[in-house]
A and B are shown apart, each in its own frame.
Chain A
């Protein structure tokens, strides 16, 4: 089975592997064999394209990361082994950017989880006549382009074009939100939270819908308060949905790029890992070092995913499409 599955990646080797695997098993009926062929035929194009546009580039990135390689001087390309990684891991900029990325991930996911749960409860409990309006409103930020969201928040807080300073009583009118790290990151995170909370709330909404109604009713009849029912019955029953929501959003937040690029372009210590990778390879054309950052970012994401799946004990694939 695994040989067949690997076929698209390994080309001709995989094709012969499939023939071998088929030969070893007890003969299939013609119908079953036709079904298998059709199944592979239908699934293969999507599978091959999906891997071709991701697995190949990441392997190339790993390969390039072993070289000292600048597009400005392509002739001086030389093999340096893991030296790029050595430079990267001893660079305080990398650690600062990693810290900012982790900070943004933790803060936004935590706030979004609370806010998203509140929105999910609103959608879940709303009467029919309001449901459509609420759902429409909540989907608008989901569909809005991140760059548009970034500009909307930037213009609202910007010292020249903004109006927020005039609205906030404790803030001086001349306060520059984008002049230092903490306030700039605050606005960046506000935009990120505004745009992505709807997604998390929809995941939690489907989790809420899966909690059996009899359970909550029984708990209410037994004299449980609203808060108790929520904590003892509803939340434990939607653990899987919460974990999936956190994992998806955490990985997404870790890749944050658009908001930072538009609002500060990484100035005043607001740079994140994705932006560092972008500036190194696309900006300075240092393909070798840029690839090393890309690989590290990729490994971080893999690490988070494996950690979350192992830690939460959620089998993401099992329920899907079955």
Chain B
């Protein structure tokens, strides 16, 4: 803020505050709800009259524990596996697209674009039916496989964009020195591309972490139900107990990793999203 007039300083301060209120307001609101005791929920006030941890106790040790903890485990496991699989496949694919001359390159890109526009709900019905027949309903693989339809296309795009910017002369130099195409790929390009791969993994993770449609359609028990779907079931879980507090606490728990990742890697995420999405 150096070298600015006082007016500019005031202006930018106001703008920053407005942006922060907009982006963080709803989350602060649910955070405050999560600290309210059950009798405090209906006061019509933003802040709790007294900050209590009852709701967190409820989801980690109390009555909502058996709903929340398995869901948290499922969410973490399924999302991480779907992310790793997507990023590995997309890395190979994007390298080929950015670097090698082969027929069908454009078709792969157009398909990725098409798949990224695909309405998830359209394939839920046939998958629901098929998974019940072949025993994938309510299992981890039963969610990991459809999650690839969400994570693969954007991973291919983001990585292909990254791979454009790598100095390819290095690869050629390695090949001149006697390395095969694959060796050059593994030893020269992969280390250069790792930051891009990491960013892509973050974006893919966000998308899989966010899923709700597959989560409620293709699971029925805590065996595979992820957190967003489980949150929807908190509502009906207890008839005499207000689920608002437990839902808020659980919502905060699954938002914490997102906030940490965003704070640490905002620069990379922004460049990954903008490069992958808009080039045309």
Contact = CB atoms under 8 A, between A and B. Distances in A.
A151 B251 contact: yes
A152 B106 contact: no
Contacts of B100: 35-36, 38-39, 42
A192 to B, nearest CB: 12
B76 interface: no
A43 B96 contact: yes
Interface stretch (B54-62, B190-198, B259-267): B259-267
Contacts of B182: 38
Contacts of A206: 274-275, 277-278
Interface in A37-76: 37-43, 45-47, 49-51, 53-54, 56-58, 60-61, 64, 71
Contacts of A49: 89, 148, 152
B109 A155 contact: no
Interface string A226-255: 000000000000001100110010010011
B267 A135 contact: yes
Contact of A35 (B15, B102, B108, B259): B102
B160 A320 contact: yes
A142 B90 CA distance: 22
Contacts, number: 338
A169 to B, nearest CB: 14
Interface stretch (A86-94, A104-112, A287-295): A287-295
Given A152-B26, A317-B113, A147 B96 contact: no
Interface string A142-154: 1111111101110
A1 interface: yes
A39 B258 contact: no
Given A140-B24, A147-B212, A248-B277, A57 B4 contact: no
Interface in A161-188: 161-163, 165-167, 173
Contact of B123 (A4, A61, A139, A241): A61
A80 interface: no
B64 to A, nearest CB: 14
A305 interface: yes
Contact of B16 (A130, A152, A244): A130
Contacts of B118: 54, 58, 298, 301
B280 A244 contact: yes
A305 B212 CA distance: 24
If over half of A's interface residues share one DSSP class (helix, strand or loop), that class is named, otherwise mixed; here it is helix
B35 interface: no
Given A35-B100, A143-B261, A138 B19 contact: yes
Interface string B26-43: 110110010000000110
B140 interface: no
A135 B264 CA distance: 11
Contact of B274 (A130, A203, A294): A203
B127 interface: yes
Nearest to B110: A317
Contact of A295 (B122, B212, B248, B274): B122
A9 to B, nearest CB: 10
Nearest to B42: A160
B237 to A, nearest CB: 14
A15 to B, nearest CB: 13
5 contacts: A36-B100, A43-B102, A148-B251, A301-B118, A321-B97
Rank and list the top 8 A-B pairs by shortest CB-CB distance, nearest first: A39-B102, A321-B160, A5-B104, A319-B280, A206-B274, A39-B100, A46-B93, A57-B123
Given A155-B29, A305-B114, 9 more contacts: A36-B101, A46-B89, A46-B92, A50-B148, A139-B270, A163-B46, A241-B278, A277-B125, A287-B125
